[in-house]
Chain A
Amino acid sequence: MNRILILFAHPRFEKSRVNRALLEQVGTMPEVTLHDLYEEYPDFNIHVKREQEILSMHDIIVWQHPFYMYGAPALLKQWTDLVLEYGWAHGEGGEFLKDKLVFNCLTTGGSRAVYAADGACRFSLGEFLLPFQQSACLCRMIYLPPFAVQGTYLLTQDDLAHHAEDYRNLLNLLVKGEFDMDDMRCFPLLNDWLHRKREARQL
């Protein structure tokens, strides 16, 4: 049994359709801790000790957030700056996060097609997330590809339900440990990995 910590950062959660749908599915899972950062630290004054204690109690970390201006909301950046500190997360004696799994779960307004070299955004999601990947690497964590819900403006109610279901399945597999890390890392998005797994089962 793996325990999952969702570090959720959304400054306007009350207006977010997609993130609400995602969290409705997984927020109540017993192995999942939902940690709503904007609710906990409205003053941006993150309680570093407490955050580190919470991290220690989990095996898999999810940075869940909307994608604003090609990055995470400011509080999540604040969180990484403060909590992943030298001597605890990295550097000398900084081994407390070693071998934990971590990935981003994000929502983007633009569709998957625009996040490509020839698209409007000119870079892939993976490229935009490089700072997260390297931070994880610095802390000797295992960074997985992101889980992304894209083109959020055009999602129908059915699409939404489908993505939420995917997310739930993903976390379920992670909790049970039914995954192969190297296999996962072959895909640009965890959504693709799930897709492939489903197809394989159906065949």
Chain B
Amino acid sequence: MNHSFLQDALIYLAAAIVFVPIAKRLGMGSVLGYLIGGIMVGPFGLGFVGGEGKEIMHFAEFGVVMMLFLIGLELEPVHFWRLRHQILGTGSLQMILTTLIFLAVFLAVGLKWQAALAMGLALSMSSTAIVLQTLREKGLAQTESGKSSFSVLLFQDISVIPILALLPLLSLHVVEAPAGATAAFFETLPGWAQTLALLFDVALIVLGGRFLLVPFLRFIARVHLREMFTASALFIVMATAYIVSLVGLSPALGTFLAGVVLANSEYRHELESDIEPFKGILLGLFFISVGAAINFNLMIDRPLLIVALVAGVVLLKALVLFVTGRFIRLSFDQNLLFSLGLSQVGEFAFVLFAFIYQLRILSGEWTDMMMGVTALSMTLTPILLLVNERLIAPRFGTRRVEEKEADAVNVRHPVIIAGFGDFGSVVGRFLKANGIECTVLDNDSDRVDLLRKMGFKVFYGDATRLDILKAAGAEEAGILVAAIGSPDLNSDLIAKARKYFPHLTIMGRAEGRLEAYDLIDRDIRNIYRESLDTSVRLGIDVLVKLGFRRYSATRAGQNFIRYDEEALWKLAPHRHDEDTYIYNAREQIHLQEQLLTADRDVNPAVNDHAWDSELSTDEFREAEAKDDTRA
């Protein structure tokens, strides 16, 4: 193996390992981590990598190709169809408005309409990686703004494909082949013929996928070798990319289509999990190479221009998003989150700008500048969201505390419920039905508004923040019900509550066994697994439907819960030691099996012989026989 390859690989991987965790720690997300890593090792940082950055970028573009394959796989037609109004409506509105506005702006600046349009399209992209991760981390994925953001992002991801396909039509020159593709007769065709060829290719992939790939995967799956499947998955992606680039098409387009075709097949999930790690690392490499390729000379030469561009782009995007949000009737708070959250220019813009540059639609200078703007706008997102959370939303949006509460006598409730989703709301309603008033903490502003109308005392905000917990009366309350949907946030909340409000009795919701172990590690005694009671209740009903007497089935269910909880506590100390855990788990399963079999038996002789007269029958018979002989 060649020495310089090893050295480069080492530098890139080291950059990823060092900067991504730091970026995540600072709440910036992994994409920014890769970019910063790239900047640091690039010619404007420490200079470990130089001119060859562009070559690596070509190589790493394959990560983008894989990402598109995965996006294709995600597009399960049924799911897409269910969300079609949201995705098409919201998504297209945002995209068209943003593109038109940027088109107008850049025309006014004096660019050619082709360049202005291409830039408008690229700038209308937002960052799927950053936004989805942020939403998940903040536990906002299920709110209205979260769902709308998802729709917009999905629409953008999909529209990359036609944009990549249509960009050559904007090109004024005969171009060199993009992204490592071999030059083909394709480029020599006029624009309209290229489009026709493209349509023909699409049909080829769709039919080939359906009638060749699925039977092929079925054959491979029957071999039962995991690595064969991984190899096939990679093979499919690469083969598709190769074939479409032979006719001069974008490999991204081809693999996306292959993904869509396979989304319907039964192998969708296997393909996803096989490609995922390759995609992750190649995409990481791609971002590092983008970071390394950013031309800082431009920024240093014209800092004001860059600052103005970044501010202008983010502001315009946010404005368009805000209008879109109004159009789909998001409440003010949700709309702020939606418009600020999506206001950055996304990672696809890097791909598009690179392609636009190759097609000579845009000059190198502009491309470099826009790449820089894109990267800077991404770094801005976490900061904007923080400003919104701390400064804008509390002042103009849903009040953290209801105003009229402030001057009323401050009634402190004994119970605080953090998280009022499906789980917490049942707890709250039950307590309220029994005359116990609760203080509710929630971070979905729509829900908060509704709850206030219904007479709940609600605090709006991130329950893991100390000041909000304090405002909600954590110092005076007796019980904290930690019922946040995201296990990470819930665990975070519990850790903070234990540390800063040690007097609180914490009743913790746990998603499953593993989350329950996590709570045990945090020294929580009252743990409620979401699935346990409900699943057992379902199981009891199944037994009844199968002909069991309802009381016997109910007892079996109650016993099962008891043994399961005992097993949970017994196994908790062992789970850090993998081997004993597995051993003990097996032992516990064996125990449960024994108990269940015993309970299920019509004559449960081993463990449950309540009301079972069969055991003493013999003795009675003997006694009666004695009486008879005596008589």
Contacts and interface: CB of A to CB of B under 8 A. Distances in A.
20 contacts: A43-B558, A45-B555, A45-B558, A45-B559, A45-B562, A47-B562, A48-B610, A81-B610, A81-B611, A82-B610, A85-B609, A85-B610, A86-B609, A86-B615, A86-B616, A87-B615, A91-B615, A91-B616, A91-B619, A92-B619
A162 B546 CA distance: 57
Interface residues of B, number: 10
Interface string B593-629: 0000000000000000111000110010000000000
Contacts of B562: 45, 47
Interface in A11-48: 43, 45, 47-48
A2 to B, nearest CB: 30
Contacts of B609: 85-86
Top 7 A-B residue pairs of the complex, sorted by shortest distance between their CB atoms: A45-B558, A86-B616, A82-B610, A86-B615, A91-B616, A43-B558, A91-B619
Dominant SS among interface residues on chain B: helix
A92 B555 CA distance: 26
Interface in B543-560: 555, 558-559
A48 to B, nearest CB: 7
Contacts of A82: 610
Nearest to B614: A86
A82 B612 CA distance: 10
Chain A contact-residue range equals 10 to 19
Dominant SS among interface residues on chain A: loop
A43 B559 CA distance: 11
A92 to B, nearest CB: 7
Contacts of B611: 81
A48 B562 CA distance: 12
A31 B562 CA distance: 30
Nearest to A85: B609
Contacts of A86: 609, 615-616
A48 B615 CA distance: 17
Interface string A66-96: 0000000000000001100111000110000
Interface in A91-144: 91-92
Nearest to A90: B616
A38 B609 CA distance: 22
A104 B352 CA distance: 87
A179 to B, nearest CB: 33
Contacts of A43: 558
A87 B96 CA distance: 81
B549 to A, nearest CB: 15
Contacts of A92: 619
Given A45-B559, A85-B609, A91-B615, 13 more contacts: A43-B558, A45-B558, A45-B562, A47-B562, A48-B610, A81-B610, A82-B610, A85-B610, A86-B615, A86-B616, A87-B615, A91-B616, A92-B619
A12 B615 CA distance: 36
B370 to A, nearest CB: 66
A118 to B, nearest CB: 36
A91 B617 CA distance: 10
A50 B615 CA distance: 22
Interface string A40-69: 000101011000000000000000000000
Contacts of B615: 86-87, 91
Contacts of B619: 91-92
A82 B562 CA distance: 17
Interface string B101-116: 0000000000000000
Contacts of B555: 45
A6 B555 CA distance: 26
A82 B555 CA distance: 12
Contacts of A87: 615
Nearest to B555: A45
A91 B613 CA distance: 12
Which one of A47, A86, A91 has the greatest number of beta carbons of chain B within 10 Å? A86
B622 to A, nearest CB: 10
Nearest to B619: A91
